[in-house]
Structure formats: C-alpha cells, structure tokens
C-alpha cells in the first residue's frame, strides 16, 4: 500500500493515499464521528513520521519503540492511550493484522477530581456572560448538565415544552437521550428566543446557517470566568461537573443523575460523590452511632532517670 501521509501533489490539492482512504472508510462503516476520525488519522500519521516508512509495514518492536519514544518525550497518558486506540484500530481493521494489538500497552492515568464551582460562582459566571446567546448557552450547560458539543448542536425543535425535556440527538456514543428542562431554564430559553429569534439552530454561529462551535462556547466560559474573577480552571465541562455535584448535594438519587448526564456506567457518575462536600458534611459516620467510648487512658509522662 502507499504511505499513510498524504501524497505530495502540485497546486493546493493533495490526493488521499489508498491506505488513509481505507482507514477512513473502515471508521465510517463503524459509525465513528468526525472528531474521532480526525484524532485517529492524526495519531497514525504521527506514528508514520516516527517510523519513517509506511505504517502498515511496522513490526511489533516498532510499536514498542514508539511507546518508549512517547514516554521519553513527555507525552501524557491520555495522548498515549489515544494513540494506542488509533493504532489498534488501524492494524486490526485496516491492515487485518490483529496480532499487532498485543504490542500496545494502555498507560495508567492519575485519577483527578473534577473542578467544581460553588452555586455562587455559577451565578457570577452566568450573570457575567457577554451577550444573551452566550449567557443562555452557559445556562443550558449548567441547567441541563449537557456536554459542550451537545449544547452547540441543539436545535429549536429540540425544546419539548410538553414533556419538559431537551432532546439530545446523537450525543456521546451516538445515542439519543433526553436532558433536563427545568422551569427556570425554560424561562431563560424563552427570553433568548425573543431576543435572538433562532430558526433552526438554537445557538447560531457567525454563519446563521451553522451552529455555534464548541470552541466559541469554550472561549466564552474562559473569558467570562477571567472577567468576573473566578480563579479556578473553568471550561464548559466544569458547568457539567457542577450540575452533577450540586444535584448530588441536593439529595437527588445518583441513578437519576446518571440518566440526566447520559452516563452508561454508574461508576462514572459515582465519582461526583468525592467532590460533593455537603454530602460528606451531612452524612453520619458509623462511629457516631456507637455507644460513647470510654475516655482514653491517661499516660503518665516519662521521667528521666536520676
């Protein structure tokens, strides 16, 4: 097969090599979204640059050497694991060499607790947002706990007033689901509809025919947080984390939160229990249920020898 990177060609057009085209077709057949396809192509291209020849000619030792190289150059575990997933797919499906997957190792990642805003900080962020569109988009991210891509791709028709839900089409894992639509969030959305008059996309981008991008929402959150003096690292996902944590602190059943977030596994939702400080403060320790303990014996201080 031809080498993986795009072949050089005159003018500005660069034809796609047969190997790259085949991988794209394999990913398309399996329903990979555009971002995942782009990430996988980038990872395989980086491996090709390291290898210095066509990637489908690689050996198991080449894959091992690549991971050693990644470690030595300071590549972080999430990036290494992303490359592992891409290369496993490439060799298993595009090259029909599934035995190559055993040479790739998943790197353990340190588990970090998500950043969470207090309710007061959320209010400060929402009130400080510049423009009605940005304020409403951030309100949806927090009020329904949606991912930034889910907020960006909402349509006007996705607001179901009768059932009080937001329809999320093809969310993570290409699954349709319903998000929360609280009375207060509906009020905010109705105000935005009167001001912005959206027709198709709930939050139109610079081109009215296209939706706002995830990067635009991210920039709005970061710039607003800086403007109102929030020193925590804040992103659109911080609002989703805050939504889940505040729900848990309100006593909402964790399984309900799981459904609201669209998590497949309860374990993913359970991590918010680690940052829900109000829950920890109010829960009764089993030690407190025991009978009063006897006072600790007093120990006489040791005296030095005469």
Positions marked active-site:
147, 172, 237, 240, 263, 272
Q: Is 3 within 8 Å of 48 (Cβ atoms)?
A: yes
Tell me whether strands 177-180 and 165-168 are parallel, antiparallel or unpaired. Answer: antiparallel
Numbers of helices and strands, H then E, in the chain: 13, 3
Count, residues in the chain: 306
DSSP 6: P
Q: What is the dihedral of CA 25, 30, 36, 41, to 10 degrees?
A: -30
Q: Is 19 within 8 Å of 3 (Cβ atoms)?
A: yes
- Burial class of residue 257, CB neighbours in 10 A (0-12, 13-18, 19+): buried
Classify each residue of 227-253 as buried b or exposed e, where b means 16 or more C-beta atoms within 10 Å of its C-beta: ebebeeebbbebbbbbbbbbbbbeeee
H or E, element range at 180:
strand 177-180
Q: Which residues contact 18 (CB under 8 A, 6 or more apart)?
A: 1, 2
Nearest to 17 by CA among 29, 8, 6, 9: 6
Residues 207, 222: Cα–Cα separation, whole Å? 22
Distances 220 to 128, 187, 291 between C-alpha atoms, Å: 10, 21, 54
Tell me whether strands 177-180 and 159-160 are parallel, antiparallel or unpaired. Answer: unpaired
């Amino acid at each position: 097969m031809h080498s993986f990177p795009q072949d050089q060609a005159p003018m500005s057009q660069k034809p796609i090599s047969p190997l790259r085209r085949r991988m794209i077709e394999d990913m398309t057949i399996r329903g990979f979204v555009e971002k995942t396809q782009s990430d996988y192509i980038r990872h395989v291209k980086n491996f090709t640059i390291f290898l210095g020849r066509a990637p489908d000619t690689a050996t198991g030792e080449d894959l091992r050497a690549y991971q050693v190289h990644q470690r030595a150059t300071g590549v972080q575990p999430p990036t290494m694991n992303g490359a592992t997933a891409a290369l496993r797919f490439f060799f298993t499906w595009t090259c029909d060499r599934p035995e190559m997957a055993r040479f790739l190792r998943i790197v353990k990642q340190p588990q970090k607790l998500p950043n969470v805003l207090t309710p007061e900080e959320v209010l400060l962020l929402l009130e400080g947002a510049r423009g009605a569109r940005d304020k409403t988009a951030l309100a949806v991210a927090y009020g329904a706990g949606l991912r930034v891509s889910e907020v960006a791709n909402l349509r006007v028709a996705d607001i179901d007033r009768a059932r009080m839900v937001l329809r999320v089409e093809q969310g993570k894992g290409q699954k349709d689901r319903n998000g929360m639509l609280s009375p207060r969030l509906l009020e905010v959305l109705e105000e935005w509809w009167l001001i912005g008059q959206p027709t198709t996309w709930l939050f139109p981008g610079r081109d009215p025919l296209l939706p706002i991008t995830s990067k635009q929402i991210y920039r709005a959150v970061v710039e607003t947080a800086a403007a109102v003096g929030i020193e925590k690292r804040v992103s659109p996902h911080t609002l989703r984390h805050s939504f889940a944590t505040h729900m848990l602190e309100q006593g909402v059943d964790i399984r309900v939160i799981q459904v609201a977030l669209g998590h497949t596994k309860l374990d993913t939702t359970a991590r918010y229990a680690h940052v829900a400080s109000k829950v920890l403060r109010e829960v009764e320790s089993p030690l407190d249920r025991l009978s009063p303990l006897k006072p600790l014996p007093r120990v006489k201080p040791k005296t030095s020898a005469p």
